[in-house]
Amino acid sequence: MPTDLRLSPPPFEWGVQVVEEAVSSAALEWGTKSFPPPRFDYPGPPGSLRDEPWFDYCVLAVSVLACLWPPPGATMWSVTRRERTLTDAPALFAAITDWMEPDGLPDLGRFASITATDSRRLFAGEGVLQMVPQRGVRLAAVACALLDRWDGAAVNLVEEAGWNGPTVVDLLASTVPGYEDEATVGGHHIRFRKLAHLAAAVMASRSKRRWSGMDSFGVYPDYMLPRFLRHLGVLSYSEALSESVDNRIEIPRHSRQEVAIRWATVHAGHRLVESIRWVGKPICGPRLDYFLWSKAVLGPDAHRMGEHHRTRTLDY
């Protein structure tokens, strides 16, 4: 059985603690804050897509929306579109958009046949984007899964899920390569499924039909949320882990330290939701995640929050 990450923190000896006093303090401070719903109006995605083609686009693009930080000594990857320089998620979305046919629709057959040369061309830009060959392989595998398992349309997956967010996550993780994001470490079977949750949320954002279950999602265990939670004192790292993070030393995928950071992020998010509700403010996981992400990435203090951990992976 998978470990329920919301109900308990990671083992102490793995190097990350959730500090309950800091959780309570943050909840009291944020009890009067506004928590708007998540917005996914990035520059980069095609503005005209809705429903069926939008679902295909999301399942393709979000499958490689990971590891966007540069390696040591390199500059952040960027692309220029319409005289505007884009980085991070907008840059990746723009690259995927540009690879589509002139009619602006995602051609699954074209994505399924991506070669190594195509991948380099698709992700061309300034700076360094890591794992370019693997991203091309991932896109091809995702397109093949949609063609073979879902009869050429992600909407068939959504319909089989009954337009229910958690069920969409389960089907993405079990049938589409790259969306599994699971690990077995120290006797714990752990399911993060960060990209599957994000893909479901982004798909639902342009759906004419209302999806159910979306408010049940927790916070996303990525790079920036644990960085912000550590800055707040909600997460506390061991001396050894602090040294690795602060000195940009890569932490191996599925190591106890890496899993502990992500596990503690999910648990801390759940505890914050509970504590904010306790002080009388209605809130759900996605709204908290958007609030935390906005602070960590766009907030005025974002540049003073220290380092995020480095793990080279396409899981997140």
Instruction: Note the pLDDT of residue 82.
Output: 87
- In a domain, residue 206? The reply is no
pLDDT digits (tens, 9 = 90+) for 9-24: 999 999 999 999 999 9
Q: Examine residue 193 and state whether it is found in any structural domain, yes or no.
A: no
Whole-number percent of the chain with pLDDT over 90: 97
Number of domains within the chain = 1
Inside any domain, residue 22:
yes
* Residue-number span of the structural domain to which 257 is assigned: 1-39+214-316
What pLDDT does residue 135 have?
A: 99
Does residue 26 fall inside a structural domain? yes
pTM: 0.97
Provide the pLDDT confidence category of residue 102 given band limits of 50, 70 and 90.
Answer: confident
Whether 129 is in a domain gets the answer: no
Is residue 29 domain-resident?
yes
What's the pLDDT tens digit per position in 189-236?
999 999 999 999 999 999 999 999 999 999 999 999 999 999 999 999
101 pLDDT exceeds 90?
A: no
Give the model confidence (pLDDT) of 137-186 as tens digits. 999 999 999 999 999 999 999 999 999 999 999 999 999 999 999 999 99
Indicate whether 77 belongs to any domain: no
Query: 69 in a domain, yes or no?
Result: no
DSSP string, the chain: -B--TTTSPPPGGGSEEE-HHHHHHHHHHHTTS--PPP----SSS-TT--HHHHHHHHHHHHTT----SPPTT-PBPEEEETTEEEEHHHHHHHHHHHHS-TTS---HHHHHT--HHHHHHHT--BSB-S-HHHHHHHHHHHHHHHHHTSTT-HHHHHHHTTTBHHHHHHHHHHHSTT---EEEETTEEEE--HHHHHHHHHHHTT-SSPPBSGGG-----SSHHHHHHHHHTSEEE-HHHHHHHHTT----TTSHHHHHHHHHHHHHHHHHHHHHHHTT----HHHHHHHHHIIIIISTTGGGS-PPP----S--
